[in-house]
Structure 1
């Protein structure tokens, strides 16, 4: 019985260690993704509210998006790679976007809170 139990426990332990998915090096972690996606959502909202033609708003958004990446000190290629990585795991992406939505709701409920900090 001990011969069967020990390998079984080792197998369970090994599989539990492997199931904890860690973000590979060179990609953004969950916190960074939430912060950048939050800024992107806010920027998209601002640009869509501008009274300018679509092609002009696309140019404005491109410039503001570059500013977001500079603000966070992240190259756009790293963000793109990170998005591809997180999109492969629907549950993780749902968790990230749930946090983004929660943050947007907090900002909407408490306008100007960032300026006070």
Structure 2
């Protein structure tokens, strides 16, 4: 019995030690996935401003997601498969989200920053 237990753990160790870095077919390339996820999160943010009435998310959100997927020549099935693949690799998905965070922060900063001259010109002088 101990021989089989030892064999089981040896095989288990061998299988876990062998890493396959090959990306399966149908997975969205990493840089494209970063841009796609960035756009998905922008859509998520825009949908959050829609009043929450029944079917409002479906009515307003579906077309936005379809447009994003069309822009990247993909669909929701391929997106889900790719997200599952990258999510199974915690270090990789963390690195991807670090990049996404930088891009989203830059977008928010560009929207929130109004040039000082425009503010001064908008305020009436007394």
Count of aligned positions: 95
Correspondence for 1:97:
97
Give the Cα–Cα distance (whole angstroms) in 2 for the partners of residues 39 and 30 of structure 1: 14
Larger Rg: 2
Shift of 1:42: 0.4
Correspondence for 1:47:
47
Is 1:110 aligned to 2:110, yes or no?
Answer: yes
Shift of 1:32: 1.0
Correspondence for 1:81:
81
Shift of 1:73: 0.7
Contact 2:34–2:96 (CA under 8 A) maintained in structure 1 = yes
Correspondence for 1:68:
68
Runs of 4+ in 1 over 4 A off after TM superposition: none
Correspondence for 1:7:
none
Backbone CA RMSD of aligned residues:
2.1
**What SS does structure 1 have at the residue aligned with 2:79?**
helix
Instruction: Give me the TM-score of the superposition, normalised by structure 1.
Output: 0.70
Instruction: Give me the TM-score of the superposition, normalised by structure 2.
Output: 0.66
Give unpaired runs (5+ residues) of structure 2. 1-17, 112-126
Give unpaired runs (5+ residues) of structure 1. 1-17, 112-117
Give the Cα–Cα distance (whole angstroms) in 2 for the partners of residues 78 and 20 of structure 1: 21
